[in-house]
Amino acid sequence: MMENGIKGKVVAITGASSGIGKATAIMLAAKGAKVVLGARRADELKTLAEQVIKDGGEAAFAVTDVKHRQDLTQLVQLACDRFGKLDVLVNNAGVSQLSRIDELDVEGWEEMIDINLKGVLYGIAAAMPVFRSQNSGHIINIISTSGIKIVPLQGVYAGTKNAVRTITEAMRQEGGHQLRVTGISPGFVQTDFANNMKNADLKAAVKGRMEEIAIPPAAVAGAVVYAIEQPENVEIGDIVIRPTIQD
């Protein structure tokens, strides 16, 4: 069974090379977790793993594109091969393409569905057999405040996030005492999240808003740590974390 707290827990994180994923890895490793890092960018992953180890932590990494189910299977397998178990999976990888729905950015829709929704499901599919065999485990899905408040330009993005919100709550109810499930919905956070946006004007607007009000990734990492470190019989189901100034 999972011990209380953080020390000794094995935590796999997708989207770990930057932003919330990176901050979460650093914070968990500093508290004694063994982190298994997945992201698409090999150089950033390697640098982060080396930083964690240099600072006295334990880390492993694998290039992981959550659009590919096999990559998630391999990330979970790496955790089990290197550290003998997997206690927590943090489904953090995400992407946003903001546009009016009638602009018909079908390619952008598919990218968000593949990463934000199917990527989370692939992570769950990879982790659950391990959690069942251990009779313990914890799924943490990084969702978004998008979807809590519906606004123009975010329809499909919020749709993918609300799908994950629904799946997270259903899993929480189904999980029984052997599985903990947590959904964390960040608002504006200082990340490179806007870099993938195709619409230059929207990208500039989002980046400007981030500079004005965004909270640091470590604030969200702290919420992840809080959920994980609870006693085994305590489940933190839902956390919303945003700048105080955000609507």
Q: Is 11 helix (H, G, I), strand (E, B) or coil?
A: strand
Q: Could you say which of 83, 122, 131, 157 is catalytic? A: 157
Tell me how far apart the alpha carbons of residues 124 and 118 are, in angstroms, rounded to a whole number: 10
- H or E segment at 160? helix 155-174
Tokens 């009638």, located at residue = 102
**Sheet (strand 88-91) strand order:** 58-63, 34-39, 10-14, 88-91, 137-142, 179-186, 238-241
State the amino acid at position 165 in one-letter form.
R
Strand-pairing partners, residue 236, are none
Tokens 């189904």, located at residue = 174
Question: Contact at 8 Å (CB) between 205 and 150?
Answer: no
| CB environment 175-187: b (16+ within 10 A), e (fewer) | beeebbbbbbbbb
- Per the annotation, the verdict on 226 as an active-site residue is no
Q: Which two tokens stand for residue 79?
A: 């955790």
Tell me how far apart the alpha carbons of residues 28 and 25 are, in angstroms, rounded to a whole number: 5
Positions marked active-site: 157
